[in-house]
Amino acid sequence: MDRVRVGVVGAGVIAQVMHLHFLWELRDRYEVVSLCDISQDAAERCAREYDVPNVRCEWKALLDDDVDAVLVLTSGDHAQIAIEAARHGLHVFVEKPMCYSVEDGRIMVAAAREAGVTLMVGYPKRYDPAYERFREEVARVEAPKFLRVTTLESPYRPYIGHYPLVRATAPPADVLDRLQAESAATLRAAIGTDDPFYVRMYELVLLDTLVHEINTVRGVLGEPERIDHVELREGSLTALLTFGGTPVAIHWLDLPGIARYLMEFAFYGDDRRVTLSFPSPFLRNSPTLLTVEGGTVGTPSSWRTEELASYESAFRRELEVFHDAVVGASRPATDGEDGLRDIALCTALVTAAREQRPIDHPTDP
């Protein structure tokens, strides 16, 4: 099974900008058999664009098509589709976040394990060649002192206006109301409160955006020993954590008036500084910049290098990794167990903020 037959659930922005485009580029490895979206118009038009033979408006129907794997690219909670797909014996790739609650994450992982299929979470930054170089350089720092993560969120539409995207028609109001009610109930149960502020921060900040930064830090430093402090405000988040004795500060700011996205990981040690700067995730093949700085102790001598590791798309590379996992060649770094720890950490960050207390071993689900 070198060529994997897939069904795609979701024909929204990230599907059109990245996944469908790269699945087409990788048609020596993938055959898209079915495409499903709640908007039939969007599904049909994308299917014509990418020569997909089957169009579905109900994801359950897609599971009975002749597919080996399912890509769940919808927004929001992916648990129900992923669980049912695994129980059908299908390999599953889910966009982040993998789910809304730790409980659902456990069920997803168990369903994949019992069926003997791959469950992979889409974290493209973990497959960026510059990220791999960042890990190498961080490992060379002799006396690590601090990791700072800074994200300046910006409007995404300026980054996608140049793509010929299909605009979806609005789903029926009753369907939309039902989906929103189900999501709201799951979110409230996940964090143990119905406070609109915490529910909104959990869904739209932690799960929708910061889960990428959280997963990337874990990929470099392992599991956190402790959440030391969390401060949530409208439009901002600050979290202080400890990873293996190394303090980590995560800062997220929403800057809606500036279309200049920034995500930066800066690792500091006695002998060098290593910085990784990611471009907007909506730009295909835009390179990530790695900067390394050092010097000679006791002298004014210093140096700085800037490196573009590759123009390869991290989205394309993660699809290559998923293909290899499906055909049995490897196991993805961002499998279901890895993604579940991110959900556990996100829920713990909300708890730490609400109760204003530290939490030990927050990624233990």
Whether the pLDDT of residue 166 is over 80: the answer is yes
Residue 263 lies in a domain: yes
Q: What is the pLDDT of residues 5-17, one digit of tens each?
A: 999 999 999 999 9
Question: Is the per-residue pLDDT at 175 higher than 90?
Answer: no
Whether 293 and 327 map to the same domain: the answer is no
Residue 186: what pLDDT?
94
Question: Do 177 and 268 belong to one domain?
Answer: yes
280 inside domain: yes
* Domain assignment present for 203: yes
Domain co-membership, 97 together with 229 = no
Instruction: Assess if residue 144 is contained within a domain.
Output: yes
State how far the Cα of 244 lies from the Cα of 267, in Å rounded to an integer. 14
User: In this structure, are 71 and 117 located in the same domain?
Assistant: yes
Which of 53-62, 163-172, 196-205, 233-242 bottoms out in mean pLDDT, i.e. has the lowest?
Answer: 163-172
Q: Which residues contact 12 (CB under 8 A, 6 or more apart)?
A: 37, 42, 73, 74, 75, 168
- Kindly indicate the confidence band of residue 329, based on its pLDDT and cuts at 50, 70 and 90: confident
109 and 250 co-located in one domain: no
What value does the mean pLDDT of the chain take? Answer: 95
Apex CA 209: angle with CA 205 and CA 215, to 5°? 115
Per-residue pLDDT tens digits for 65-88: 999 999 999 999 999 999 999 999
The number of distinct structural domains making up the chain is 2
Whole-number Å distance between alpha carbons of 22 and 29: 11
Same domain for 187 and 160: yes
| Same-domain check for residues 263 and 322 | no
One domain for residues 118 and 141: no
* Cα dihedral value 205, 209, 213, 215, nearest 10: 100
Q: Are residues 215 and 303 in the same domain?
A: yes
The residues facing 54 across adjacent strands are: 34
What are 317's strand-pairing partners?
none
Same domain, 253 and 330: no
Look up the CATH number of the domain holding residue 280.
Answer: 3.30.360.10
Q: Are residues 86 and 188 in the same domain?
A: no
Residue 365 lies inside a defined structural domain of this protein: no
Q: Is residue 60 part of a domain?
A: yes
- Does residue 171 surpass a pLDDT of 90? no
Whether 180 has a pLDDT exceeding 90, the answer reads no
What percent of the chain stands above pLDDT 70?
Answer: 100
Residue 134 belongs to domain spanning: 126-313+341-360
Is residue 154 domain-shared with residue 28, that is, in the same domain? no
- Here the CATH number for the domain that contains residue 101 is 3.40.50.720
Do the domain assignments include residue 264?
Answer: yes
Residues 166 and 16 sit within 8 Å (Cβ to Cβ): yes
